[in-house]
Homo-oligomer: A and B are copies of this chain.
């Protein structure tokens, strides 16, 4: 988000509480009225929408450093759930303190920008679900996650830890977990990418990006993160 140190400190000071969220726990349910937002410190948090049978579609995945629901500040209630994927720690920032923060117009713009990045990611996900087949979706997602993790120093560009079950991946990519298993096997057998027990290794990054038609520009990362 390119916050300068002063802004960083200001946000840090606005934190009221550090919350521990056990793995696979719904932290916020759709429709709840919220008076604070959450910032991921470590672990993975997800935003999900459930269908009438309780089957979930992920609409976002949040890594350490991400504001999960900054938008709840302006919306005050959300139309989706917020749940932990892994065990996680989040910093709680009360809305009234955000209100004080955004008195600084520059910071206000940066926070706005952060929510716009989320929206850009939503659009990339729409493309993924609308135009790619199952393997393309997985490829696209892995490229995206690799790029994002790399930007926060959690990937070396080929290998990274990612504590998602095949079922989580399925809920992200809009396929069944059985089919996700088949796709992962294919990727493995073809020597392109190994996704196994919370660890991902991309053997042919260029190929994966082509297969998923991935172009990182929507992440608006620093140019140095080649």
Interface residues in chain A, defined as those with a beta carbon under 8 Å from any beta carbon in chain B: 31, 47, 49, 51-52, 55, 57-60, 71, 74-75, 79-80, 102-103, 105, 108-109, 112-113, 115-116, 118-120, 122-127, 129-132, 173-174, 213, 215, 217-218, 220
Contact = CB atoms under 8 A, between A and B. Distances in A.
A52 B217 CA distance: 15
24 contacts: A47-B123, A49-B127, A49-B131, A51-B131, A57-B126, A57-B130, A59-B123, A71-B119, A74-B113, A75-B120, A75-B220, A79-B123, A79-B218, A102-B105, A112-B115, A115-B115, A115-B119, A118-B119, A122-B123, A122-B126, A125-B126, A126-B126, A126-B129, A129-B174
How many copies, total? 2
Given A49-B131, A80-B123, A126-B129, 12 more contacts: A49-B126, A51-B213, A57-B126, A59-B122, A59-B127, A71-B120, A79-B120, A103-B105, A112-B112, A115-B115, A122-B123, A130-B173
Nearest to A31: B217
A115 B132 CA distance: 26
A72 to B, nearest CB: 9
Contacts of A213: 51-52
Contact of A116 (B58, B74, B132): B74
A127 B217 contact: no
A103 B104 CA distance: 11
A19 B139 CA distance: 40
- Sorted nearest first, the 7 A-B pairs with minimum C-beta distance are A130-B174, A122-B122, A129-B129, A57-B130, A79-B218, A119-B119, A59-B123
Nearest to A51: B131
Contacts of A59: 122-123, 126-127
